[in-house]
Amino acid sequence: MNRLHIKSIVIAIVGIFVASSCNDITDLNDNPNGVNPLTANPSLVLSTVLTETGRAIVNLGYQDAAGIVQHTQKDGWSGGHNDYEWNQENSWSGYYDILRNNQYVYDRSVELNYEMHQGIALVMKSMIFGLITDLWGDAPYTNALKAAEGGAENTFPAFDAQENIYTGILNDLEKANVLLSKNASEYAAVGSADVYYQGNPAKWRKLANSLKLRYYMRLSAKKPDFAKAGIEAIVANPTQYPIITAAADDASMAYAGNSASDSWPGAVRFDPDSSNYRRIKMCDTFVKYLQAVKDPRLGVFANKVQIPLVVDATLPAGTDRITGGKRYLSPDKVAGTINTDPEYVGLPVALLGGASYNMSPTAAQGARNPHVSWVNSMYMQPTGAMLRARIMSASEVNFILAEAAQKGWAAGNAETNYKAAIQASFTTWGTTTALAAYMAQPLVAYNGTLKQIIEQKWIASWTSASEAWFDYRRTGFPEMKTGPQSKRAALPLRFYYMLDERNLNKANADAAIGKLEVTRYSEADGKNSAWSKPWLLQGTTKPW
């Protein structure tokens, strides 16, 4: 647990130099350009908390989580993305780094009586701890950020039960709702540090209550009565519990685009070989679903194939030529199963030899395969109007309300919420002119099923795919299958507890592992498996 705690919170804001003095080389000189953590404005650290959280969410939702839920696949360096070959390497240390900085923001804001800063810090604490427990299960929570207080219980903290972490999150969000309930003029200014909402407390309050909806719904299979009461209380009191219902209130973060660290991941300006961009391809599962419902967002998410394949039995044997931007093949030149769709071709899930799929001219890792759809060219850029870290959206909130209403809970009309969720997503991706025609399709028009709600929510979670993964775990939707290279014959449920944690905080890590439930897919991993069930899924019969 040392990695969680030995780094000082003030690293990001304090500069101290040990320098030689004219009289005594042991003198400690203060850095005249440094900032004293005892007197600093918490906004100096808040900006780091927000930007690092935004980056962490995208780095998960655009990378391995997108592979799990089959938005994308990789044709090079694909083990973690396509095949779930994580090998106990997924570490939570980066999330705890954010939490330590966030704790400084909160503590310093309490000292200064900065209530808006306190409210924001509680929202961010809830979001990051929520992500940790969603990904791993039990985790250090109560004593996780107390190493400075000393004692073995703080240096090597126990793992709190997953149920208790969710309860703590919901309690903190309730506190945040109250702290953020005043007019902006009544707070100390947050200033440019707020890269999500530019210091608007009303929008932060909506985010706090929307996150409550997320976590109540997360608990809906395990504790349905508790979740029902929580969601109904929020919906019944919109003045007391305002929520995000319009895309204009989405919690999202733009990228500055000045360096690799503040740009969209894979921006080719900082990756001249473009390998991080071009190795990601659209997934066949996602492409075919979007094509089936004639979804205009496909053209926003993906590029069309650069060179479509055309197999023509009338061509002479041995024909393999590119003419007019198409590659023409006689049947004898076709190797294996190919996809001749003239517009969009996805990479099948966990495919053996993905780099050579669909007659690729080269089988090199991360090859420039012109016969498979790459993600949209905008993802080559460091920044852009649609290149945002999407923290929580009106689309997600309306889908939660649609699901709650579909369950028979007092959360409005399910169809109305469902339509509002899709509309919000279309607004986000600039496709609103096609909305009416899209909604009129029999496959899209509301049919009253949870399957349809979750499948549409899955589409809307593009680049925020971790939420689609968490929805899949508790509902079994969308109904996704693994591929031939997958580590198991089912989608994973969680991350492994990492080796350094098991070594440094062994007793507590072992206790948490002992509470996991082995499934038929855990196999040789034993209890600490990506296919073992944490408390949230135990006894729910989901997702398989």
**Does the pLDDT of residue 482 top 80, yes or no?**
yes
Whole-model pTM: value is: 0.93
Radius of gyration of the chain (CA): 25
Mean pLDDT, residues 144-155: 90
Cα-to-chain-centroid distance, residue 180: 25
How many other C-beta atoms can be found within 10 angstroms of the C-beta atom of residue 38? 9
pLDDT at 155: 92
| Residue position matching structure tokens 């925020």 | 464
What is the arithmetic mean of pLDDT over 122-126? 98
9 has a pLDDT exceeding 90: no
Reported confidence tier of residue 343, pLDDT bands at 50, 70, 90: very high
pLDDT over threshold 50, residue 310: yes
The answer to whether residue 17 scores a pLDDT higher than 80 is no
Q: What's the confidence (pLDDT) of residue 23?
A: 41
CA–CA distance, 532 with 540 (Å, rounded to integer): 13
Q: Cβ(394)–Cβ(244) under 8 Å?
A: yes
| Mean pLDDT in residue range 521-527 | 95
Helix (H, G, I), strand (E, B) or coil at 18: coil
Tokens for 81, please give them: 């993305």
For 63-89, the pLDDT digits (tens) are 999 999 999 999 989 999 999 999 888
Per-residue pLDDT band at 31 (split at 50, 70, 90): low
Which single residue is written with the structure tokens 């909402």? Answer: 197
* Bridge partners of residue 310, in order along the sequence: 328
Tokens, residue 481? 């299958």
Q: What is the pLDDT of residue 34?
A: 59
Query: Which amino acid makes up residue 502?
Result: R
pLDDT > 70: percent of the chain:
93
d(CA 91, CA 89): 6
Residue 15's CB is within 10 A of a number of other CB atoms, namely 12
CB atoms within 10 A of CB 503: 10
- The structural domains of the chain, with segments of one domain joined by +, span 279-380
Q: Which two tokens stand for residue 346?
A: 């996805």
Question: Tell me, what's the pLDDT at 19?
Answer: 34
Q: What is the mean pLDDT of residues 60-64?
A: 95
Please state, for a pLDDT cut of 90, what percent of the chain lies above it.
Answer: 88
Q: What is the pLDDT of residues 209-267, one digit of tens each?
A: 999 999 999 999 999 999 999 999 999 999 999 999 999 999 999 999 999 999 999 89
Residue 25's pLDDT band (cuts 50, 70, 90): very low
What is the chain's mean pLDDT, rounded? 93
Q: What is the pLDDT of residues 416-462, one digit of tens each?
A: 999 999 999 999 999 999 999 999 999 999 999 999 999 999 999 99
Q: Give helix 466-475 / helix 201-218 axis angle, nearest 10°.
A: 30
pLDDT at 397: 98
Three-state helix/strand/coil letters over 268-329: HHHCCCCHHHHCEEEEHHHHHHHHHCCCCCHHHHECCCCCCEEECCCCCCCCEEEECCEEEE
Distance CA 65, CA 464 (A): 8
Buried b (16+ CB within 10 A) or exposed e, 46-67: bbbbbbbbbbbbbebbbbbbbb
User: From CA 236, how far away is CA 34, in angstroms rounded?
Assistant: 49
Q: How confident is the model at residue 30 (pLDDT cuts 50, 70, 90)?
A: low
Within 8 A by CB and 6+ apart from 204, the residues are 116, 119, 120, 123, 176, 180, 196, 197
* 337-341 long-range Cβ contacts below 8 angstroms, 24+ apart: 338/309, 338/311, 338/371, 339/284, 339/309, 339/371, 340/308, 340/309, 340/310, 340/311, 341/291, 341/305, 341/308
The answer to whether residue 300 scores a pLDDT higher than 50 is yes
Q: What is the mean pLDDT of residues 147-151?
A: 88
Tokens 């890269």, located at residue = 195
Cα(first)–Cα(last) distance of the chain, in Å? 34
In the DSSP assignment, the letter for residue 29 is: E
CB 373 within 8 A of CB 309: no
Contact in structure between 398 and 424 (CB atoms under 8 Å): yes
| Mean predicted confidence (pLDDT) in 286-315 | 98
407, with CB counted inside 10 A (0-12, 13-18, 19+), is middle
Q: Residue 200: pLDDT band by 50, 70, 90 thresholds?
A: very high
